[in-house]
Amino acid sequence: MASMACAMASKDYSKRISSTCASSQQTCGRAFVTRLQPLLGSCRYKLQEDDPERVIALLRKHDIHYLLYIGGNDSADTAHRLAQSAQQVGYDLQTISVPKTIDNDLPFTDHCPGYGSAARFIALATMDSTLNTVSIPWHYPVKVIETMGRNAGWLAAASALGKRHEDDPPHIIMIPEQAFNVDRFLTQVEAVYRRIGYVIVVVSEAVRDEQGKPLGTVGQVGEDAFQHPLLSGAAQYLVELVKQHLQLRARFDKPGDLQRMASNCISQTDQDEAYLVGQAALLALLSGESDKMVTLLRHTEPAYHCSTGLVELARVANAQQLMPNHFLDESKTMVTQAFFDYALPLIGASLPDHAKLAKTKAQL
């Protein structure tokens, strides 16, 4: 989300790293990561008006001339502002932004490190949570699962990655890019319930109604450092709608922070690409680049893999990449094959295919 981590180095330190890099780029990356571990820090802080000047003074004091800034949209803005401030005062500072956000909403990159693992978690959580509902559908026939994602629906969409048949969960996906309509939602829920006897809904925390008001304001608990609302009420709101208007029992699940920290769901592809962008960022610094972000470029031949590129931070800062229309079907509440083709390579190993038992009523 808005959190970030950064690494800094002096010119003397970079010379030692450069000498290591002269023999091998792979050795360069491993050496830097090994030596970098004690230098990483993290925060959730928005630069105030006079902060860049103070930061540059602090960097100058400690002879810091190289900055790797890891994070999403807000972090890209911070890195850009620091690079511009250093240039304005004539301080020699090279800044590279390293993409990392489970929201997957950074523009100019095919996807963001962190998303593949979070998407894997969401897909598995949806499959596992559904097993409880399917076992006793008459008890709580409607379940709503709430995901993170701020203004983009990438995480909510990932809930469908374990879906193999039309009636597999989830049955309805609500994302921020599509305005919420109460009547349309209730009609869909009732139709699915009548057809298969239970309904799994996945909703992004920031889904908005047709007036632009987030459903989650029911449980808003303030704002983060970047003035983004901290929402927690979308799932509760939908559950109450179902109870009141359809007279169906409903409940909700909220994975919360587990979406971005469940180490048991790390995608190997995601982990490898996180290393790749970190290595590319270091090499960019050492080649004289600054005020740019590393990007991932997708290749499909002979098999899925990524290379890296660079984009100017001025184009990235505070910009967002939302779910494109062709990733959604006509209902706008389910993903298309194009989304499966995009996301499945990112989540690593194949998801489990749980056995299903035929339910036959015993005749007395």
Beta strands in 276-330 (DSSP E): 292-299, 305-312
Q: Among candidates 196, 138, 139, which has minimal Cα distance to 168?
A: 196
Give yes or no: 341 in active site: no
Judge contact between 108 and 316, C-beta under 8 A: yes
Kindly state the DSSP code that residue 168 receives in the 8-state scheme: S
Judge contact between 124 and 347, C-beta under 8 A: no
Distance of CA 37 to the CA centre of its chain: 23
Distance of CA 194 to the CA centre of its chain: 34
Catalytic residue among 63, 77, 92, 103: 103
Q: What does the alpha-carbon distance between residue 136 and residue 151 come to, in Å, rounded to a whole number?
A: 34
Q: What does the alpha-carbon distance between residue 139 and residue 132 come to, in Å, rounded to a whole number?
A: 10
Q: What does the alpha-carbon distance between residue 56 and residue 63 come to, in Å, rounded to a whole number?
A: 10
Q: What does the alpha-carbon distance between residue 257 and residue 142 come to, in Å, rounded to a whole number?
A: 23
Judge contact between 126 and 143, C-beta under 8 A: no
Active site residues: 103
